[in-house]
A and B are shown apart, each in its own frame.
Chain A
């Protein structure tokens, strides 16, 4: 199982480093590429956990769909403003302290509840060979209501976008 730890360490490192790069790069296209790298590394972690379907969907939706639109829009709009403007305000020490406090809270909460916290077994006795089918079954039986609500929400957003962008004919 050493291999799976190495893989996890690799993907996790790539994800965190490129996430940091995404925030700190001045060039907005470089930021977008870093974000893409983060998403890909996350997909890699899904694959390492044997979530094949999640891995592929992460790539198709986020990397192949949403990020392509991001990059498209970035190239359409004017970039010079973002290059010249001040990227960070001067409250980073306050922000750092707040982030530390928040992190401490999370650690404290997990530590308090560690008795009731149940992690799933590390290695499943039987690996679900039909990953995709299992996801489909769960979505359309157990979680049908949240699934449909999410679809309606997306539909509303889409209709809203169409109405706002519509040219009168």
Chain B
């Protein structure tokens, strides 16, 4: 980031620290707001899938609902159970939220917007975010309640099982990238000309399942299954501490989405990053102009719809949304004519967030579509299907890479062959698992 000129007021000795600190403050300040609006999005999507309206009362179309929720949570009475272990009860939510926020230190939100590009960036994020489990386990234990303890135990067992599978899924993409630095992983996808999701689709699938389980989301939300455990590990928590757990959960969701985006979906690269045709007579690449045009189209659609809304406030909101789209389009288009650093930063950030949001939308979609697993089913899926599959996939991808290096086959051919081989193993695993299940049932005398 040395190409951005610093004001001369800042002494040179602290200049390298200014931008990272600024980014850190921005992340810590913006993340709670973002989490709140993801919750609103979740409720709206859920309502849409269940043919309802969702929150409508606070602000136009419920747009101010997150702020109302936050105020409510902050003002709520903070209850500590009488028999709780006070110190641990106090520390546990802090562990969860601190670890979730700390993991953002290595997350690249764009070529310019990253606090630190560590050589071990990916491992750092995985390590730090895996510490968040202590917040859950200790919180569940400290509450001194059966529901909480059971939720905590389930959470620990689930995390240990699925972390392995998800990690092995990530390694298959790492083999292709050849680096642990988040920046170099994205660069490798640019150099090889394709997102790794197309080279190792099974690795991506395994990581998707594993990441849902790690963030305790439905259909793997057994640690907080309402119908069985009230609220699982956070049954005894209320008010601010509860909201810290909530913030940690959503921060973790954004982290796993960010990891998947960086490793499998090309990070901040736009689709077809090497297609460089320019608009005639300018230095603007055609594909860079597309997002602005799409937003302008959405804005035009909003303006066209606005007069047709039945109520005045709805007309106003429709117009406002259209205005927002115009502003976004203007920002994206304006940055095209700015210096390279700014242009790459804005567009990289846009594509990264767009992919993260798409991944999160898939989370919501899965949540509202699948019923919850039973605990033994969850364990069987993890240990008997996902982990063997991840191992087979890893070996197949490694063999594919060696073959393309030694015999000169095209990498695309070998990775497709590896994927096909892994798929057939997956089918075999699934069918043998079914037989095994029947065998257990007969042995149990069912």
Task: Flag if A56 contacts B138 (CB, 8 Å).
Answer: no
Find chain A residues with CB under 8 A from B133 CB.
Answer: 64, 68
Task: Flag if B137 contacts A71 (CB, 8 Å).
Answer: yes
| Chain A residue at minimum C-beta to C-beta distance from B153 | A75
Within 8 A of A (CB), among B146-165: 149, 152-153, 156-157, 159-160, 163
Task: Flag if B120 contacts A56 (CB, 8 Å).
Answer: yes
Contact with A along B401-444 (1 / 0, CB 8 A): 00000000000000000000000000000000000100110010
B200 smallest CB distance to A (angstroms): 20
Task: Flag if A75 contacts B149 (CB, 8 Å).
Answer: yes
Docked pose: A131 CA to B149 CA in angstroms = 40
Docked pose: A64 CA to B124 CA in angstroms = 12
Docked pose: A132 CA to B121 CA in angstroms = 11
Given contacts A52-B119, A52-B120, A129-B119, contact A71 B156 (CB under 8 A): yes
Within 8 A of A (CB), among B3-35: none
Task: Flag if B119 contacts A131 (CB, 8 Å).
Answer: yes
Given contacts A72-B156, A75-B152, A131-B120, contact A33 B443 (CB under 8 A): no
Find chain B residues with CB under 8 A from A36 CB.
Answer: 134
Task: Flag if A169 contacts B439 (CB, 8 Å).
Answer: yes
Docked pose: A36 CA to B119 CA in angstroms = 25
Selected from B88, B127, B128, B160, the residue in CB contact (under 8 A) with A29 is B88
Find chain B residues with CB under 8 A from A57 CB.
Answer: 123
Docked pose: A125 CA to B436 CA in angstroms = 60
The tally of CB-CB contacts under 8 A between chains A and B is 74
Docked pose: A52 CA to B180 CA in angstroms = 12
Task: Flag if A68 contacts B137 (CB, 8 Å).
Answer: yes
Contact with B along A17-53 (1 / 0, CB 8 A): 0000000000101100100100000000000000011
Within 8 A of A (CB), among B78-133: 85, 88, 118-120, 123-124, 126-128, 130-131, 133
Task: Flag if B123 contacts A65 (CB, 8 Å).
Answer: no
Task: Flag if A60 contacts B123 (CB, 8 Å).
Answer: yes
A29 smallest CB distance to B (angstroms): 6
Find chain B residues with CB under 8 A from A64 CB.
Answer: 127, 130-131, 133, 163
Docked pose: A65 CA to B164 CA in angstroms = 10
Find chain A residues with CB under 8 A from B128 CB.
Answer: 59
A63 interface residue (CB < 8 Å to B): yes
Docked pose: A169 CA to B153 CA in angstroms = 27
Q: Which chain B residues have a beta carbon within 8 Å of chain A's beta carbons?
A: 85, 88, 118-120, 123-124, 126-128, 130-131, 133-134, 137-138, 141, 149, 152-153, 156-157, 159-160, 163, 180, 436, 439-440, 443
Q: Closest 4 interchain pairs by CB?
A: A64-B130, A59-B127, A56-B123, A72-B156
Q: Which chain A residues have a beta carbon within 8 Å of chain B's beta carbons?
A: 27, 29-30, 33, 36, 52-53, 55-57, 59-60, 63-65, 68-69, 71-72, 75-76, 129-132, 169
Known interface pairs A55-B120, A130-B119; 17 further A-B residue pairs with C-beta atoms within 8 A, sorted by A's residue number: A29-B88, A52-B118, A53-B123, A56-B123, A56-B124, A56-B127, A59-B128, A64-B127, A64-B130, A65-B160, A68-B137, A68-B160, A72-B160, A75-B152, A129-B119, A169-B436, A169-B440
